[in-house]
Every structure is written in C-alpha cells, then in structure tokens.
Structure 1
Amino acid sequence: MTTTVQQRRRALRKLHEASSIFVMPHPWDIGTARYLQHLGFKALATTSAGIAFSQGFPDMEWAVPRDMMLDHIREIVAATHLPVSADFESGYAHEPEGVASNVRICLAAGVAGLSLEDKTNDKNRPLFPVELAAERIAAARAVIDDVAAGAVLTATTDSLQGGGESFEQAVDRLIAYSEAGADCLYAPGALTREQIATLVKAVAPKSVQVLAHDPMLVSLKELEDLGVRCVSGGSGLCRVAWGSFMQAARDLAQGNLSAYETAVPFQEINGFFRQDLAKGRRSQ
C-alpha cells in the first residue's frame, strides 16, 4: 500500500481530532516497526531511548547526535506506511531560530508529526523558562505551517519527570504551549484521574497524550472517557525487550542454559518476516 506524506499527516491529525482514543507504540528499528504495523496499530512514534540504547548511548538530551537521530527517523518512516511521529527531543537547539531550522530538516524526513520537549539537559536549570519554551513551540509551528501543513506538533513538558515543578506548573506550561501553536499536549508521568481531567479541560479542544506506564492508574476506557486522545507507549516496549535480554544474558553468564527456554521460536519470527517480505514490504 502506497501512502503519501500528506496522507499520513492527515491520518495522524484525524486520530488526534477524533472522539475515540488510540494507542501509539514506539518501535526502535525496522523490524519492530514492521511487526507493529502488522498488528494493526494506526500510528507509530520513534523513541529516543530506543535508538539511544541500541547505539550504546544513555537516553539524555542530544547524547544521540542530531544527524544520527534524523537517520533513525528516516529509517522508521521508510519502514512503514503508517504515520510516524518523531521524538525529536528538545529540537537539538536552545534558541527558537535553531529549533525552527532543525524542525524543518526533521519534517523533510517525511514524518507525520513530531514532539518537542522543554528539557535543557542542564541540572541547574532542567527546563527552559516557560516564555522561551513557548517561543520554541511557536517557531516549530511556523515551520510546519510553512512547509508541512497538517503535521501534528506535540509539546512535551518534563515538569513531572525531573523538572522539579508541580502539577499546576506543568498545566500552566502546557497551556502556554497550546497557545503557542501545539496540537497535542503531553506531560509524561503517573497522573491521577483528577489530574488528567484537569489537564484535558485546561487545553481543550487540543489533544492530550498520556504515557503508558506500570502500573497504569487509569484504564484505557477511563482515559477515553476523560477526554484523552492518545496513549504513548514511550520506551516501554524497548525496555520490555531489554529486560528479557538482560535477564537471559545474566542467566547465561552464570552458566544457566535454561535462559533460552522462553525464547520465541525461530520459525515464528522468521516466518513473519518471510511473509512480510512476500507482501512487498518495501512498497510503501
């Protein structure tokens, strides 16, 4: 199935504007993207943690160089006909002009949307001041309107994940980002029902995204009833895979050969990719 970039962007925007909720998982390579597409998900997103861990980097701002991140984003976009939202960290620049320039390059990779964070990677000042952070979102919005109309801009605040701010401050930030032009607002963290309802109301009618985590305090149906439109898988699937690998490797290092007993049969994985290749997977 061949889809154009504009079709993918329209598809992602419709998902965010619909009354129903959708789950957006995060592949970290071509194979995982292909399998998630096979399962029927409607959209995918890249994960900074996924590419970082696979390349031997920690998941911290710009540990993965910009050009390596862009190559990874292009690879995921090319692997699937689904709309892909790029985890573009904090835009690989501090000032709005630099963010705009890098967002333009990211959009050229064919993404249906992208997310921008407000992290500085400075432990003394973990988040950009809200005014500057909003200006960065506005700069990204201007580029999208100029060259990639329809692409979905997600503004993320890390206030609740190491940002050292309260929930109320996180809401104020997302209101500012919404007013600056973000289509979707995202505050990763374990939120209560009351907090989610407050956030949805504060930025309505914009889309709200929440992070899937363990344990989930709210069910998917409850999230939908609260007005949430997107559930992000974050680095979850990547960490599940790493968890299985690390435990099996530890067992093997101790001489325990039973580590392979829980492995997915070779025929199952190989059979999927044989069928996938036969369907002409490279024709997107």
Structure 2
Amino acid sequence: MTDKGTIFRELHKPGDPFLLVNAWDRGSARMMQAMGVKAIATTSAGHAFTQGRVDGGTLTRDEALAHAQDIVSAVAVPVSGDFENGFGEAPDVVAETIRLATEAGLAGCSIEDTALPAFTSYDFDLAVERIRAAASAARALASDFVLVARADGVMLGQYDCAEAIRRIQAFEAAGADCVYVPAPPGVEDLKRIIGSVGVPVNVLMSGAFSTLTMPELAKMGAARLSTGGSLARVAYSAAISVAEGMLKGDFTGLARAAAEDDINHLLTK
C-alpha cells in the first residue's frame, strides 16, 4: 500500500493545483472528505477557536499533535499539519516536531518563519537553518513527508515580497518540498513568487485571492490551494450572525441551518 506521504506528494503539481481544505475538527474533516477533497490540513486558528483561544502560539505542541492525530484517525485521505513555528525557535526543536508529526500519522506539515507569540520574523539565517533541520529530519523518516516552508513576513508586515522571495529560494535550497507566502499584496506579486522557485507553491485562498478561479491559478503555476482558517471563520461568522439576531428577538436565522440528514449523510459516507 502506498504511504500517505507519497500520495500527498503526488498531488503537488505546478500548473495543476489541488484543493487542500483546512479542517478544525473530526466532523469538518469527514465532511470535506465526503465531498471529494483529496487532502486535509489542520488549521492552528480553527483549532485554537475550538479551545476558546486566539491564534498564534497559544497551542502547545502536544495539543497540536493530539488534534492532528484525531483528524488523521477520522479520514482516509492524507493530512498535513499547520504547525506554526514548529513550537520552538531552535532548529533541533523544529526537527523533533517533524519526527513527532510523522508518528501522529501526518503526511506533511508547514513551518513558519515567525517567532510566536510576538509575531516577528526570525532573522534570515536562523529561518533557513530551521528549515534545513526540518528537511534533514523529514528525509530521515521511514515514510515520505512533505515539508512546507512558510515566509509569513509579508502578511505580518515584517518584510517585503523581495525578502519573501529571497527566503523561499533559500528554503528550497535547504530542502523544503513546497513553499508558501501567505497574502502577498497582489496578483503580480503572486506570479513573481510562483515563478521564483522550482518547488511547488501553495496559495492561500483568502482576501482578494478568493476571487481567482482554479484555471487562473493553474495558469500562474500554482500547485496547491489552501483555505487556512477561512472556512472555520465562515462557520463562526454564521453562528455570530444568527446569535446577534436571536439576542434581538429574531430567530429566523436558524432557518438557514443545514438539514441534519444532509450532515449525517456526509459524516457517514
């Protein structure tokens, strides 16, 4: 039987992107699988929300691993972990996170260049060394594992696209299998990012980029389209909107609820 890491790796085809949906619990993961999604990812934001916390360094590594293992056990498709900064600054801590991730049954994971909870970016050399250590750990595993290196500084206002490109090129050289620059300023910047590396590039489908179509993204050379915490926030948005109405005495929003039979069908499919 082909291992999940190999199946996951084969989905990453520049110019033929696949949808990677970030699920926040077993139920959302099972429903996405039933609807035809070929791979699932965790979401640090969505997971944090379910624990009554904000995103960004509030989850421990043990909590994230247990959550990831729970989702892995709920679906048959490959699962990738959103593991923030690898739960530590030191390269050897990040390497250990990779080893633990595969023990949890994950087919891959992403590592950010962000120091949490400060939301500042690691210096270039340290950011690269962290990915080099993660890649070395991934290559030593018995099963295949897709390592995604994230340059989050553009999204956080820590550096510009030129620096993001310098970082992802270095991440590629350090052994990353896929790279990711969340929320670049515009489409032309995204095109430059995709064209700057030889490894697959993930695109976060949020904000202005949510208006792009699959064919448009394929033409740019994108390999993977992820949703981040957006789908979880859509679910929370619906709950907030309906609750606001109920607090004013308007219960009509509850009529928009999905039929229980429809949900049951997806959960048992």
Superposed pair shares fold, TM > 0.5 = yes
Residues 27-75 of structure 1, C-alpha deviations (whole Å, 9 max, x = no match):
11111111111111111110001110000010012x0121111110001
Query: What's 2:42 paired with?
Result: 46
The 8 Å contact of residues 45 and 87 in structure 1, kept in 2 or not, is answered as: yes
Query: What's 1:77 paired with?
Result: 72
Residues 188-221 of structure 1, C-alpha deviations (whole Å, 9 max, x = no match):
00443322221122112x0011100133253221
2: distance between equivalents of 1:178 and 1:191? 22
2: distance between equivalents of 1:191 and 1:228? 16
Aligned with residue 146 of structure 1, among 132, 137, 140 = 140
Question: For 1:259-278, what aligned pairs fall within 5 Å after superposition?
Answer: 259-273=253-267, 275-276=268-269
Residues 92-137 of structure 1, C-alpha deviations (whole Å, 9 max, x = no match):
11110111112211121111111000110264x7011111011110
The 8 Å contact of residues 89 and 115 in structure 1, kept in 2 or not, is answered as: yes
TM-score of the two chains, using structure 1 as the length reference = 0.90
Query: What's 1:126 paired with?
Result: 120
Correspondence 1:115 to 2:101: no
Identity %: 34
Supply the RMSD in Å over aligned alpha carbons. 1.6
2: distance between equivalents of 1:266 and 1:147? 42
Query: What's 2:222 paired with?
Result: 228
1: distance between equivalents of 2:189 and 2:231? 25
Aligned with residue 36 of structure 1, among 12, 32, 49 = 32
Correspondence 1:171 to 2:174: no
Query: What's 2:99 paired with?
Result: 104
Q: Which letter maps to 1:193?
A: V
Greater displacement, 219-228 / 108-117: 219-228
Long gaps (5+) in structure 2: none
Correspondence 1:26 to 2:19: no
Q: Which letter maps to 1:42?
A: K
Query: What's 1:245 paired with?
Result: 239
2: distance between equivalents of 1:191 and 1:227? 18
TM-score of the two chains, using structure 2 as the length reference = 0.94
1: distance between equivalents of 2:216 and 2:142? 33
Query: What's 2:203 paired with?
Result: 210
Q: Which letter maps to 2:150?
A: T
Q: Which letter maps to 1:119?
A: T
